[in-house]
Structure 1
Amino acid sequence: MLDISKGLPASGVSIKLEKMNTSTKMWEVVDQKATDESGRISDFLKNDKDNSGVYKFIFMTQSYFQKINEETFYPFIEVVFEIKGKNHFHVPITLSAYGYSTYRGS
């Protein structure tokens, strides 16, 4: 996660990972972690198993902006994505107080 308004990693951002239960169509919490000094979290899912499914990251951005004394339009950001098989991806976020962008990284 990169704070593009500062050109620096966004550290200490709490991120929750949820997976959609295919039977109930409800979200189930997989894990919750916070970004490190590099704005990264390296190990939400194990790479050696089939992680197929629909997932959702919830980036809790409001507390990050409160910590740096900035207002934000986005109290949190939800990013939904699908994994097929044992593929490994990064889901980078570029962030500012009034905008964000994401893409599938490798």
Structure 2
Amino acid sequence: MISTHILDTSEGRPATDVPVELSRREADGTWTVLGASATNADGRCPDLPPLGDGPDAGPVDVRLVFDIAAYRRARGETPFFPEVQVVFTADPGTHYHVPLLLNPYGYSVYRGS
């Protein structure tokens, strides 16, 4: 299971209504979109789909794409980073929480709990 949330560190609060897309890399190197969501009032995406293939499938590469341009433009700002892509390796049977800390000219991500 993959979960995420976004904190806008320049505002000191969650980033709401940010579109987020979850994909997994296939054996041939292409990406398959598993689903999409948007951050809620707490900056979280509680409804991202599972990775599939069960816990015995082995590690897979996963990609989260955050549409930062939509968030910045809704606030009347010009985005410096139009999107943030985070790619990591995950075991399908394990929960991964991957928060995004965002400001207008920088960002960081980490594996949370």
Which residue among 31, 54, 61 is the counterpart of 1:27? 31
**Which structure 2 segments of 5+ residues have no match?**
1-5
TM-score with structure 2 setting the length: 0.85
The CA RMSD measured in Å over matched residues stands at 1.8
Q: Relative contact order, CA 8 A, sep 6+: which one is greater?
A: 2
**Percentage of pairs with the same residue:** 35
1:85 is displaced (CA, Å) by 4.5
**Which structure 1 segments of 5+ residues have no match?**
none
1:46 is displaced (CA, Å) by 3.8
Secondary structure of the corresponding residue to residue 39 of structure 1: coil
**Structure-1 separation of matches of 2:10 and 2:80:** 14
The residue number in structure 1 matching 2:100 is 93
1:8 aligns with 2:13: yes
The residue number in structure 2 matching 1:80 is 87
**Distance of aligned partners of 1:85 and 1:64 in 2 relative to their CA distance in 1, 3 Å threshold:** closer
Q: How many residues align?
A: 105
TM-score with structure 1 setting the length: 0.91
